[in-house]
Structures are given as structure tokens and as C-alpha cells.
Amino acid sequence: MKLPKRNDLCWCNSGKKYKKCHLHSDELGETAPPGLQKEMVRKPTVAAGRISPMNPVPDHIGRPEYADTGAPTSARSSCKKVNPDQIERMRKAGKIAREVLDTVLANVRPGITTDALDRIAHSRTVELDAYPSPLNYMGFPKSICTSVNEVVVHGIPDSRELVAGDIVNCDVTVYAFGMHGDCSETVFVGEVDEDSKKLVQVTWECLMKSIDLVRPGQHFNAIGKVIEDLVREHGFSIVREFTGHGIGESFHMAPYVAHFYEPNNATIMEEGMTFTIEPMINAGCAECVVWPDKWTAVTRDLARSAQFEHTLLVTADGVEILTGGRQPWFMKQ
Ligand code: MF3
Ligand code: CO
Ligand code: CO
């Protein structure tokens, strides 16, 4: 007995394509005929490793309000608009975040640990007189997030070495000139399989297509709509537990930015709003499970997940990307 291919009809006679029917539950080992379950159920490719001590930040560098306590306190429920002075400072913070992310991505290769990537990010950040925003944010122990393969988001850099065939998302946020800038990219470690390339490519398109519709007067739910259309076409799924967010003097604040379609969300974009778009797209099911470390979120079925993120400013007639380039690293690989 053989299981159908993704685009073949499902074995249950529903008349639906396998990928739209029992594929995901088979992969979880829930429904496949017993003889085939073993070959379907995925094994984790990532396990919790050793986490090195927090790296120190020199005293002369301005710190966000939570740096010592771990608790963000500033007003985060209101949706703020930035004034020209704040825009200038956010541009500078965004530039530094981009510079640090580029430095990290240039160092991704088989054999390097995610802890080493974190150390590289940390030194570059403080060299540029900025504070690495994740450090001690709600107790997060490191300076960036590194999310490998089935890790969806908030992976903690540790002693795991990257291996050829992995995909890794590096998420850099810095605090400089009193503002946060937040961006991430997913890249390949050595040669990766075609399915992973497709996933990363489509996730990038999700970010770009949604950025292209940002302008004053636009509905926030247009973002989820365009992403859903693209993702459905490829049989992937959209993570719902984590969203984009307002950003500025606070790391995370209103509005939240759903990457799936919310028909009843009436929030409208206005000039001067600054927020992130950061779709997490899964090759398998949409659901996540969070590890006991309370941070690392992995896909429930252990299929791979990719993500890209930019910090954006709504301008008078459209959008400005505050965190840099339209050419992602994976396209240069
Ligand atoms: N940079 C992540 C984001 O895009 C947040 C990381 S919070 C941390 O929103 F504490 F995990 F670092
Ligand atoms: Co981020
Ligand atoms: Co973010």
C-alpha cells in the first residue's frame, strides 16, 4: 500500500486532493493506516540546547524600559502615530537593525551554532551604539531569535550547530535613538530541498505583496486577505497565534496585524503609523506548540515554517520600509 502524492486524490474517497484532506493528519500519525504511520510521522530536527549567559550591554547605550526588570511598562494598548522627529529616529533604528541582520545572515553556514550568530549580532548591535531589543524582554535570555526548520518563531539561540539542508529565520530588533526597529529573514544553510525553497519563496512573496498594499485609508485586513490567497494556492498554512504589531517607542503595541483574513476587523491605516508585517507560513498544519522554555514555538506536525519581517511607516501616499532592502538573502544564495 502506498500513500497518495500531495496533489493526488485522497485515499479516503472524499474526492478531494490529498493535501487538502488527510495529508496533515496522516503526518501527525492520527489517521494513516497503521502500516504507514511510522513512515509518515516526522521527527523533531531541533531540540533544546545549552543557552549561554546573557551578554552585557555597555552602560553608555540607551536601554528600553524593560532592560532591567524584564517587564515592558510603557502604554502599549494605544495605537500611536509618529511625528517627524520620531520618524527620523525610527529610520536610524531601522537602518541599524538592517545592518545587524545583514551581518548575522552573512555568517550563516553549516557548523555555526545559533549561539555564535547571537554573539555576532550582539557585538555588532552594541558597536553601533544600540541595545538588542529581545535581551531580557519579558525575560528572553538572548539578543536575537533564531528559528530553525520546524521552529515557527522565538527560537532561543543555543549550542545547536546548523547543518546543511536546514532553513533558519534570524530575527533582529534593535533599540536606538529611543525607537525600535524589527526585521527578519529566513535563509538556507547550504543546499536545501525544493519544498523548502518553495516555502521560503512564497513566504517572501506574502510579505512583499502585503507591503505593496499599505497606504493611508487601507484596511488592515487587506494584509491577511492577500496572504491567504497566495498561501492557499500553494497548499501551505498561516500561523494565527503570532501577528505583526505596532512598533516605535515600544517594542510591541497596538495595532496587531493579522496575517490571515479577519472579515470583521475595521481598523484603517493612517499616515504616521509604524508597524511590522511578519507572516509565518507553514508547509503543513497551521497550529503551533510552545516548548516548556515558554518561548520556542514549533509546528504541531513538525513540518517546516518560514518567516520574513519588515518595520513599515505609512506615508502620505504609500509606505516606507524602514528596515531596508527588497532583495532578500535567500535570493542571492
Ligand atoms: N522580534 C520578534 C517580533 O518580531 C519578537 C521577539 S520577542 C523576544 O516581534 F523576546 F522573543 F525576543
Ligand atoms: Co522580529
Ligand atoms: Co516583530
pLDDT in tens, 207-258: 999 999 999 999 999 999 999 999 999 999 999 999 999 999 999 999 999 9
Which alpha helices (DSSP H) does 215-297 contain, by range? Answer: 221-234
The helix or strand, by DSSP H or E, that contains position 305, with its residue range, turns out to be strand 305-307
Rounded (10°) CA dihedral 257, 169, 124, 73: 30
**What number does the ligand 1 atom closest to the CA of 138 have?**
10
Architecture (CATH level 2) of domain 84-332: Alpha-Beta Complex (3.90)
Q: Are 285 and 315 a contacting pair, CB within 8 Å?
A: no
Where are the domains positioned within the chain? 1-41, 84-332
Asked if pLDDT for residue 110 goes beyond 90, the answer is yes
Tens digit of each residue's pLDDT (9 = 90 or more) over 64-94: 999 999 999 866 777 789 999 999 999 999 9
In angstroms, the CA 306 to CA 50 distance is 24
**What number does the ligand 1 atom closest to the CA of 144 have?**
12
Q: How far is the CA of 37 from the centre of ligand 3 (A)?
A: 37
Q: How far is the CA of 255 from the centre of ligand 1 (A)?
A: 16
Q: Are 123 and 89 a contacting pair, CB within 8 Å?
A: no
- The pLDDT of residue 328 is 97
**What pTM did the predictor assign?**
0.94
Query: Rounded to whole angstroms, what are the CA distances from 2 to 5, 8, 31, 43, 320?
Result: 9, 12, 14, 20, 51
Which residue has its alpha carbon closest to ligand 1 atom 11? 154
Query: Does the C-beta of 137 come closer than 6 Å to ligand 1?
Result: yes
* Mutational test site, ligand 1, from 147, 171, 288, max ligand atoms within 8 Å of CB: 171
In angstroms, the CA 153 to CA 40 distance is 24
In angstroms, the CA 307 to CA 170 distance is 9
Query: Does the C-beta of 140 come closer than 6 Å to ligand 1?
Result: yes
Asked if pLDDT for residue 45 goes beyond 90, the answer is yes
In angstroms, the CA 234 to CA 238 distance is 11
Q: How far is the CA of 248 from the centre of ligand 2 (A)?
A: 13
- The pLDDT of residue 76 is 72
Output the average pLDDT for the chain. 95
- The pLDDT of residue 36 is 67
- The pLDDT of residue 24 is 83
Query: Does the C-beta of 97 come closer than 6 Å to ligand 1?
Result: no
